[in-house]
Amino acid sequence: MKKITDAFCRFCQGMTAGIGMILLVMSASAMMIYGEMFSKGHAVGMTQAMLLMTVLISAGFVAAYRIFLKSGKRVAVILFTALVFLQIGFLMFVSHPMAISDPARVQNEALLMVQKQHGQMNMQDMYFQRYPNNHFIVVLFYYYYKMLSFLEIHKVWVPTVALNLVSIDIGVFISWLTARRFKGISFANVLLGLFILCPTTYVWLTTVYTNTISFPFVMAILYLCLRLHQRRENMRREYKLWAGLGTLMAVGYWVRPTTIIPIIAVSMYFVIRFIQGETKDSARVCLVKAGLAAGAFVCCFMGCFGLVGRHIDRSRLSGQFPVTHWIMMGLNEQSGGEFSRSDEAYTMSYPTKAEKQKADVERIRERVSGMGALGLLRQAGVKMYGVWALSDDDCFGKAGYASNFPVLYPYFMGHSNTWYLLFMQAFRVATFFFLLVSVLMQIRQRKFDISFVFSLTFLGAVLFFILWEANRKYNVCFMGVYMLLMADGIERCFRYVRGVEHNRAGIRERLGVCMAIFGVLCFGLTMQLQIKTVQGQEKTGENVVYHCRNYPDSVPVNTVDKKKTGQFKRRVVMEQTILQGQRIEAGDKEKITINFEVKEKNLSKQGKNLKKGLTKAKALKNKIEKPSGRKEYRVEVISLQSRQKLYGRKVSQAQLDGKERLVIRLPRARRDSTKGYLVRLSHLGKKYTMVPKVSRFPDLNPYPYGSLYINGQKTSYDLSMSISKKHKDIRV
């Protein structure tokens, strides 16, 4: 058995090293993607700049390790305090938080449970029918908001973001504890310094969801594994740790099912140690410890199950998605394995879970046979590229769903973020380089210490997202794992460099001079390339300066309040005020995009007559279903400062783009100003074929944008719209 477990461990380490090498190459070439996305033809220059910066910061990490050799708890306190202040500064001056998509649904449902639903989840909402994995986090938010309500705190957004910050920082602190147990406090302080520099520590502060809240649970499981491995406790305390490990596993799994990855890694590690005879305990004692962990897991798991059951009616839970749905979605070549609304609609079209599973399995077989072996490998590569190699983790798009952006927003998340983007990607490349060094040195040592658990967890995370839906933001909960491996790789590189210094006289001084010269050269070349790239990017950049709250979750205005549905059987005037816009410079040009839902095609008479004799497919092919030019709304945009009418026109379905949006181009600004707008939509006809959309979750409103009035009555919603600004040096 020992030979079998040895071979298995070698295989896992070799596979981790292979995946690390692939991710290193992918991340090194990722600026080609970013270059095409953001800088229009500067992909090569951006790649060169990023690689030079990677070499510079990698050498800097190894050189800076010497500074932390004699650091202690005082340095740790200073670093952790600096991290917290930087996170708060990021929230205040860089990126405004905004609840969107899944987080908005979860938080809004928890608020409604406190305010209106008497602690019961709305099982008529198809979202909670489809995704029962979010029931537990809704219940946790419910109790959190209930506590805030008891304390007379009714504006929940700041406490919600504070909960997210605390969750991330607890994860960082547990990572520090793990590193201190692993290789001492100096090594732990190096890890803390890496967290300060890591962009992922900051960019997801604005999104409060299971990917950040599960981070401390992942690291706590690995920390307890390390403590139990080192056996520094007495037997009674060790038994408590085993019970605590089972409890953390159960709660962590309920918070986010991906916690199963470190659970499996830790379980496999202890089984391998027992088989190889590395534990000093007898088989009976090992069974007692395993029984304690398993018993605590089962008891806590059933307790969480019962807690959720108090807030939902499980007899009405019939439309949940099976596991096969996410596997089927991960095989979608058109979406790159990411979320697909067509796949969601396909699974939803079947009423029961058994029928959904059968249909998903059938589509999985079709896609696997259609792609073949090469297609599957290509799909796996695409998913690895998106989830791990691209350093933004989808934060740029999510950061744009806000308004009144802070002064530093354009330089970190907006159109002028080239420097930050280059640093983000360079840090990601350096991460995979040092991670690869760590794994290769583990293989070279020919022994399996606790670092094997970290590499096994990372391997499981990568394989999971190859199999599952490739959601880029969900790797955040594994940040502590790959940062530990990165710090381990830096430490091993430093020991190698120090060994070279001891063996060769004067080599340290020469290395220092060479590194200084190389650093200046890299910085100079990087700066030159970046200046060119920034100039090119600013010429093509378009910065979103306003989004309505919960922008992706907008719904038709006549569906948000059933009492007001009758209003839309007659003419309606909607007025949206935007009190304070982003600062406009002379020469800038803005456009306003308003989202509609087309309820029925308003065909021209010619189209109706021709369609009678043709099938729908032929009608579409011959472009007969063209909307008529009958005007349905009069749209006006008025400046709140000067009361000048900037736009006024009657619009019809024919003027909507392919995404059912009306794009309004405002005149170029004549002078610098800070504008506010009044957007007025007046219905002209007797029938509504196109209905404006509004924000869906008004209670999750972190910023006062303005108000939406319907026939003079103030509502709690915002018109679903965005304002984009093009700079004065762009010709439009």
Q: Categorize the per-residue pLDDT at 196 as very low, low, confident or very high, splitting at 50, 70 and 90.
A: very high
* Segment among 346-350, 362-366, 461-465 with least mean pLDDT: 346-350
pLDDT at 260: 92
Examine the pLDDT at 36 and tell me if it is beyond 70.
no
- In contact, 512 and 367? CB cutoff 8 Å: no
pLDDT at 502: 63
Examine the pLDDT at 138 and tell me if it is beyond 80.
yes
Q: Which has more confidence, 516 or 461?
A: 461
Q: Categorize the per-residue pLDDT at 538 as very low, low, confident or very high, splitting at 50, 70 and 90.
A: very low
User: Domain residue spans in the chain?
Assistant: 2-320+390-527, 323-388, 543-726
Examine the pLDDT at 155 and tell me if it is beyond 90.
no
pLDDT at 472: 80
Q: Which has more confidence, 474 or 537?
A: 474
| Region at 336 (left for phi over 0; alpha for psi -120 to 50; beta for the rest) | left
Examine the pLDDT at 128 and tell me if it is beyond 80.
yes
Average pLDDT along the chain: 80
Q: Categorize the per-residue pLDDT at 468 as very low, low, confident or very high, splitting at 50, 70 and 90.
A: confident
Examine the pLDDT at 602 and tell me if it is beyond 80.
no
Which of the 8 DSSP states describes residue 417? -
Which of the 8 DSSP states describes residue 152? T
With 0-12 CB in 10 A as exposed, 13-18 as middle and 19+ as buried, what is 664? buried
pLDDT at 587: 67
Separation in Å, CA 31 to CA 397, 528, 636: 17, 17, 42
Examine the pLDDT at 118 and tell me if it is beyond 80.
yes
Residue closest to 45 by CA, chosen among 492, 422, 585: 422
> Class of 543-726 per CATH?
mainly beta
- In contact, 589 and 670? CB cutoff 8 Å: no
The backbone torsions φ and ψ at residue 154, rounded to the nearest 5 degrees and listed phi first, read -105, -20
Distance CA 566, CA 689 (A): 15
- Residue 154's H or E segment, with its range, is none
Region 373-389: mean pLDDT is: 87
Region 99-120: mean pLDDT is: 83
- Mapped onto helix, strand or coil, the DSSP state of residue 83 is helix
- In contact, 236 and 242? CB cutoff 8 Å: no
Q: Categorize the per-residue pLDDT at 620 as very low, low, confident or very high, splitting at 50, 70 and 90.
A: very low
- In contact, 586 and 670? CB cutoff 8 Å: yes
With 0-12 CB in 10 A as exposed, 13-18 as middle and 19+ as buried, what is 188? buried
Region 405-413: mean pLDDT is: 80
Examine the pLDDT at 540 and tell me if it is beyond 50.
no
- In contact, 454 and 25? CB cutoff 8 Å: no
- Residue 268's H or E segment, with its range, is helix 260-275
- In contact, 710 and 557? CB cutoff 8 Å: yes
Q: Categorize the per-residue pLDDT at 156 as very low, low, confident or very high, splitting at 50, 70 and 90.
A: confident
Length of the chain: 732
* Segment among 81-85, 322-326, 553-557 with least mean pLDDT: 553-557
pLDDT at 288: 86
- Mapped onto helix, strand or coil, the DSSP state of residue 204 is coil
pLDDT at 729: 44
Q: Give ∠ CA 339-343-349 in degrees, rounded to 5.
A: 140
Question: What does the pLDDT look like over 10-31, one tens digit per residue?
Answer: 888 888 899 989 999 888 888 7
Distance CA 170, CA 213 (A): 10
Question: What does the pLDDT look like over 166-180, one tens digit per residue?
Answer: 999 999 999 999 999
Question: What does the pLDDT look like over 558-574, one tens digit per residue?
Answer: 776 655 555 566 677 88
Distance CA 578, CA 594 (A): 13
Q: Categorize the per-residue pLDDT at 278 as very low, low, confident or very high, splitting at 50, 70 and 90.
A: low
Q: Which has more confidence, 397 or 384?
A: 384
pLDDT at 503: 61
Question: What does the pLDDT look like over 221-260, one tens digit per residue?
Answer: 999 998 888 776 677 888 888 999 999 999 999 999 999 9
Q: Categorize the per-residue pLDDT at 535 as very low, low, confident or very high, splitting at 50, 70 and 90.
A: very low
Q: If you write DSSP's letter for every residue of 674-692 in order, what string do you get?
A: E--EEEEEEE-SSS-SEEE
* Segment among 72-86, 168-182, 513-527 with least mean pLDDT: 513-527
Q: Give ∠ CA 632-633-636 in degrees, rounded to 5.
A: 160
Examine the pLDDT at 109 and tell me if it is beyond 70.
yes
Count of beta carbons in the 10 Å neighbourhood of residue 74: 9
pLDDT at 71: 80
Q: Which two structure tokens, joined as six digits, stand for 91?
A: 């929230």
Distance CA 506, CA 508 (A): 5
Q: Categorize the per-residue pLDDT at 353 as very low, low, confident or very high, splitting at 50, 70 and 90.
A: confident
Examine the pLDDT at 670 and tell me if it is beyond 80.
no
HEC string for 551-610: HHHCEEHHHCCHHHHHHHHCCCEEEEEECCCCEECCCCEEEEEEEEEECCCCECHHHHHH
pTM: 0.82
pLDDT at 190: 92
pLDDT at 232: 65
Question: What does the pLDDT look like over 255-270, one tens digit per residue?
Answer: 999 999 999 999 988 8
Q: Categorize the per-residue pLDDT at 542 as very low, low, confident or very high, splitting at 50, 70 and 90.
A: low
Examine the pLDDT at 303 and tell me if it is beyond 70.
yes
pLDDT at 295: 92
Examine the pLDDT at 319 and tell me if it is beyond 80.
no
Q: Which residue has the tokens 């991340």?
A: 27
- Residue 723's H or E segment, with its range, is strand 721-726
